[in-house]
Chains A and B, each alone.
Chain A
Amino acid sequence: MKIAGVDIGNSTTEVALAEVSGPGVPPRFLASSRVPTTGIKGTVANVPGVRRALEAAVEQAGLKISAIDLILLNEATPVIGDIAMETITETLITESSMIGHNPNSPGGLGIGVGETTPIGDLEVVAPGRPVIAVVPRAFNFEKAAGAIVAALERGVDVQGAIVQGDDGVLIANRLPKVLPIVDEVQLIEQVPIGMMAAVEVADHGQSIQQLSNPYGIATLFKLTSQETAMIIPIAKALIGLRSAVVVRTPAGDVQTRRIPAGSLRLIGEGQTVSVAMDGGADAIMDGLARAHPLKDVTGEPGTNVGGMVERVRQTMSNVTGKPAGQIAIRDVLAVDCLVPQPVAGGLAHEYSMENAVGLAAMVNTDRLLMEKLAEALHVELGVKCELGGVEANMAILGTLTTPGIDIPLAILDLGAGSTDAAILTKGQPVRSMHLAGAGDMVTMLIQRELDLPGYPDSDVAENIKRWPLAKVESLFHIRHEDNSVKFFKDPLDPRLFGRVALITREGLVPIPTHHTLDRIRTVRREAKRRVFVRNAIRALTAVAPAGNIRALQFVAVVGGSGLDFEVARMLTDILAPYGIVIGTANIRGELGPINAVATGLVLSRAQPIPGANGNG
């Protein structure tokens, strides 16, 4: 008979189609397929994806869906993960009083302090008065330079300029003395006029010194110690920039306001632990260890984390159709990050790096849902459809088709929504573990830390996770992450020139951002390390005999994340010292890390799980 094993995962649906003669006879595999999952795992919305996956498989085998005798579904108690992120600090400017940015080419050099004056009014300023000229785009650089030169000749002490257009260098080159000029200030009409302002431009390859130093600002504006304490957020936001303006407005106060981040209540079977969010991710994970095993998680109502946890619960409730009160969060993963946030009241789209905590949460749903799905598939396709076996067991069975592998075997499935581990040892039932946080969380960290457009508007963060980077250095060559250079015979698209690009299967794809290759690479690897590596260790520790990770011998990475170009190597780096053989599975000796569960489902009809007494 023809059996199709169907594995519905959080992000892909996989099918293994085989001819099974009977128990004890190895099945003959006919085809395999892999398509994106439709809807959230374990819901009736998966049906279209399953149909597409089956169609792809039967087409390879030259059959029709009606030729399938039996469809076996993975019996997951589906694990659904959700992610959220909240900043716990923010910088707020109640009066616009700061411009800090990195225009491509500011003009001049140095630091100047004076009263902000529209360029058109320079001719009426009394000689000797220190001023900063404010130049809207309507004044072209020749007119602006002319006005500044005329003022300087009359003895007006022009100290610097703030310019709307990209004209900083052009104006600076036409002046008799070197003045700092900050350009590309888009909202120039919001620069307060008649106020004391300081303009600083650093030399090429350097960053500003005085305006990123609180005492430097205090010196320039003769601030008291209380006032100096108030301007720390400005100095912080200006660190590392090549040019900046600080305008002192009487009512201007900029402050870092700590949003009440609230606390997280981790309700364990033994004890309940309450952790303040502003303690950061480590405090949360410590609390989690103390509350283990976890029954549920709640957030303090009326705070950010309260909203975050309830949102996760509500999403789960919508998906499963269960009332929100009955959804229990079984695991969380917290990760610290620094995310760029727009500074409220900025004039040139400034942002400052704010602390944030990313949280992944996971709920177990119930078997009932999968039965509903099997019924729906039966109605839709007209083929008999059963729940084939516990997902972890099936994955182990499928993984055992990898050449060179043996029991005791632990598998690690770094999925999209959850990280799963399972272990099979001689004479023991399969033990498995599901943890919150996986690929989707990595994508979220990349997206938020690099301030990229998010899904569904753009999948650039997802692509950064998937593909290696290169810098397009000329029209004919690129430099890879490892500094190796590749030349091209045909010139590259001019749109790629000078950009950081992803090396995808379809060729080079430019990343729409100003971040450097090094920065993107660091963020990507850190995100993977903080989610994948951390969770891999958490999961393996949970399934290892007596919680001792050294007791493991063979560990195989399965699932889509096994296709990742660097995660398996990062794991080897971490786990090799424990004496563990860890590598990417190669299902049936040809499919790589994918199709383990689908293959296992088919195999389960032909042979029992080796070494296992019954199933766990």
Chain B
Amino acid sequence: MADFVPTSPAVHVALLDPGAEALVRFASFGAEEEGVPIRVHPGEEVEPVAAAYEMARSSTFGIGLAIGRGRIVLHESHMPPERPVLTGDLAERPEAVARRFGSNAARLVVRLPFRFVDEPEHAAAPPPARSAPKPAAAPAPTASPEVDETTIARLVAEIVRRFDTRGATS
């Protein structure tokens, strides 16, 4: 700790992929919306998890991000070095993922629960009313995008049945 340099508290970010500079900006937008400063910090590690841990160790918040090729990692200084808090895939919609990770880094500081899914791109379809039952959520097959008609018919019948029974019991 001989070379301790006082710095203002910030989430530290390592940029491991020089081509991904734009993503740092998106991560910083996510943090800014939560009101937490974020700063690119020099480091030596090149592997994303190790780099994120190095950033977390250097941040006074104890929170670090690393943006590597195709991968983004959120780390916290008390975690075991090999166990990052969250890791994300930058293959699809990297800007949104980076913003969400910036937001989550900030939420770790302000102690709000993490966001695990992005906001919808267009909220064209209004979400169902608060009290509406969501019976389809449980059985909805998430694994396969191809759903045969009988499954849909069964789901619809189930939903109709629950709608019918709901009013009677509540």
Chain A residues contacting B112 (CB-CB under 8 Å) are: 104, 498
A167-B33, A188-B123 known; 17 other A-B pairs, CB under 8 Å? A137-B122, A138-B122, A141-B29, A169-B34, A311-B168, A342-B129, A342-B130, A453-B134, A457-B135, A473-B111, A475-B78, A491-B78, A491-B79, A497-B108, A497-B111, A497-B114, A498-B107
Given A141-B29, A497-B108: A105 and B35 interface contact (C-beta under 8 Å): yes
B133 close to chain A: CB less than 8 A: yes
Given A170-B33, A451-B130, decide whether A494 and B111 contact each other with a Cβ distance below 8 A.
Answer: no
Please list the residues of chain B having a beta carbon within 8 angstroms of any beta carbon in chain A: 29, 32-35, 76, 78-80, 83, 85-86, 107-108, 111-114, 116, 119, 121-123, 126-127, 129-131, 133-135, 168-170
**How many angstroms between the C-alpha atoms of A457 and B76 in the bound complex?**
36
Let me know if B121 and A168 touch, CB within 8 A: no
- Chain B residue at smallest Cβ distance from A491: B79
Asked if A105 meets B129 with Cβ closer than 8 Å, knowing A164-B123, A495-B114, A498-B114, the reply is no
User: What residues of chain A lie closer than 8 Å to B79, measured between beta carbons?
Assistant: 475, 491
Contact B33 A499 (CB under 8 A): no
Chain B residues near A315: list those with CB within 8 A.
169
A173-B32 contact in complex given A137-B121, A494-B86, C-beta closer than 8 Å: yes
Give Cα A170–Cα B102 distance, bound, in whole angstroms.
13
With A457-B134, A475-B79 known as contacts, the answer to whether A494 contacts B119 (CB < 8 A) is: no
Known: A169-B33, A476-B78. A497 touches B121 (CB 8 A): no
With the chains together, A255 CA to B129 CA distance in Å? Answer: 20
- Taking CB atoms, residues of chain A closer than 8 Å to B135 are 457
Whether B122 and A105, one on each chain, are in contact in the complex, defined by CB atoms closer than 8 angstroms, is no
What is the distance, in angstroms, from B117's C-beta to the closest C-beta of chain A? 12
Q: Contact between B168 and A165 (Cβ–Cβ < 8 Å)?
A: no
Q: Tell me whether A497 and B113 are in contact in the complex, defined as CB-CB below 8 angstroms, given that A170-B29, A311-B168, A342-B131 are known contacts.
A: yes
Q: Which residues of A contact B35 (CB under 8 A)?
A: 105, 169
- The distance from the CB of B109 to the nearest CB of chain A, in whole angstroms, is 11
Interface string of A124-153 (1 = CB under 8 A from B): 000000000000011001000000000000
Contacts across chains A and B counted by CB atoms under 8 Å: 78
Please pick, from B29, B113, B127, the residue contacting A186 in the complex, using a CB distance under 8 A.
Answer: B127
Q: What A residues does B78 contact at CB under 8 A?
A: 474-476, 491
30 contacts between A and B (CB under 8 A): A85-B170, A104-B112, A105-B33, A105-B35, A141-B29, A164-B123, A168-B33, A169-B32, A170-B29, A186-B127, A188-B123, A349-B130, A453-B134, A454-B170, A457-B133, A457-B134, A473-B111, A474-B78, A474-B111, A475-B76, A475-B78, A475-B79, A476-B78, A491-B78, A491-B79, A491-B85, A494-B114, A497-B113, A498-B107, A510-B113
* Pair B113/A498 contact, Cβ less than 8 Å: yes
Given A170, A186, A351, A495, which contacts B32 in the complex, CB threshold below 8 Å? A170
B83-A166 in contact (CB<8A): no
| B21 to A: closest C-beta gap in Å | 16
**Chain A: interface size category:** 35 or more
Interface pair A165/B119, CB less than 8 Å apart: yes
Could you tell me the distance in whole angstroms from the C-beta of A189 to the nearest C-beta in chain B? 8
Nearest A residue to B137, CB-CB: A457
The contact of A166 among B113, B119, B130, B168, by CB within 8 Å, is B119
Which of B29, B34, B85 contacts A494 (CB under 8 A)?
A: B85
Which residues in A have some Cβ–Cβ distance to B below 8 Å?
Answer: 84-85, 104-105, 137-138, 141, 164-170, 173, 186-188, 311, 315, 342, 349, 351, 451, 453-454, 457, 473-476, 491, 494-495, 497-499, 510
Asked whether A137 lies within 8 Å of B123 as measured between CB atoms, the reply is yes
CA gap between A374 and B128 in the complex, in Å: 47
In whole angstroms, how far apart are the Cα atoms of A165 and B103 in the complex? 14
Q: Which A residues are in CB contact (< 8 Å) with B86? A: 494
C-alpha gap A85/B131 in the complex (Å): 15
Contact B113 A499 (CB under 8 A): yes
Of the candidates A85, A311, A476, A498, the one having the most CB atoms from chain B within 10 angstroms of its own CB is: A498
Chain A residues, Cβ within 8 Å of B133: 453, 457
C-alpha spacing A186/B123, complex, angstroms: 7
- In the complex, chain B residues whose CB is within 8 Å of the CB of A166: 33, 119
B115: nearest residue on chain A (CB-CB)? A166
Set of chain B residues within 8 Å of A186, measured between Cβ atoms: 123, 126-127
Q: How far is the CB of A304 from chain B (nearest CB, A)?
A: 13
